Amino acid sequence: MLSYFITRIAQAIVVVFAMSVIVFVGVFAIGNPIDVMIDPGATQAIREKLIAQYGLDQPLVVQYWTFLRNVFAGDLGTSMVYNIPVVDLVFSRFPATLELVAVSVLIAVGVGIPAGLWAGYRPDSIGAKLVMALSVLGFSVPTFWIGMLLIMGFAVELGWLPSGGRGDEATFLGVSSSLFTPDGWSHVIMPAINLSLFKMGLMIRLTRAGMVEAMGTDYVKFARAQGLPDRQIVFSHILRNISIPIVTVLGLELGSTLAFAVVTESVFNWPGVGKLIIDSILQLDRPVMVSYLIMVVILFVLINLVVDLVYARLDPRVRLKGGA
């Protein structure tokens, strides 16, 4: 087990280092942020002073080395636009994104898995066919288009829900969140539904496929021969066996949802890190772009590790390299 962890940590370090190089070079190629920051009528002396102040006059290798040294010192730089440390800026927006992702994942799992079980248990029923048709829509329809339809229908026409923003916050046990207020829930429900549709469709199809396959296996036939009720067979036997691919995909999708909630946050003006990165790209705020993308890489590495451990816990046949 120890050698497995050492191997994974070594792999994670290599991945993060390689991605940091790719990200830094890619962001450097986008353009010079000074062109966005200063007035077009500014003198050349002011321009050169700003370039030297941010170290943009140094070769790319020197800039990258300076960035690495600062990262190891716990400094991800200062935003060129907001003029505050990038760590403080990102983590001030992160709770909003975490709220949105948490609610969207709950919706996707709470609706997708039961619907997939039903569609697999009664695959020829009209309800099952309707569920599969809805799952196709979740895959096919663009997120931004669904978001605009939700705003048009529930905010503009019906006036039931607000069209954007995060809503009022409250504090509970030292934690501040908009999910502790009715106004916060009214703001989060539409973007969360919008963000959950793709994941919900994925959960439905994945669960249905596992259910259909499991229904014809010997252990299900044996359980029925023993007289066990179908409810117990589905939830005590089938669901446990098909949960391995579901948990694996859900873990990976959780990382992608956290990292790429950009479209939903932009459509609903949700003040999270997705909206922050879009604004930073438009303003060429290089420290924010680089730091955010590297944080995303680290997030994916950690989630992959957790998924592997959960996978091994669910399936006792799995043996981690170096384990007993």
How does pLDDT run across 173-187, given as a tens digit for each residue? 777 788 888 888 888
Region 304-315 average pLDDT? 66
Which runs of consecutive H residues, i.e. helices, occur in 227-285? 230-232, 239-259, 262-267, 273-283
Q: Are 178 and 167 in contact (CB under 8 A)?
A: yes
245-282: pLDDT as tens digits: 777 777 777 777 776 688 888 888 888 888 888 888 77
Q: Are 128 and 119 in contact (CB under 8 A)?
A: yes
H or E segment to which residue 175 belongs: strand 175-177
CATH class of the domain comprising 91-314: mainly alpha
Region 208-217 average pLDDT? 80
Residues, the chain, total?
324
Q: For CATH 1.10.3720.10, list the domain ranges present in the chain.
A: 91-314
Residue 276 has a CB neighbour count (10 Å cut-off) of: 25
H or E segment to which residue 130 belongs: helix 126-140
Q: What percent of the chain has pLDDT over 90?
A: 0
- Average pLDDT of the chain? 78
Cα(205)–Cα(210) distance, rounded to whole angstroms? 9
pLDDT at 322: 45
pLDDT at 58: 75
pLDDT at 5: 66
| Threshold 0.85, pTM exceeds | no
Q: What percent of the chain has pLDDT over 70?
A: 86
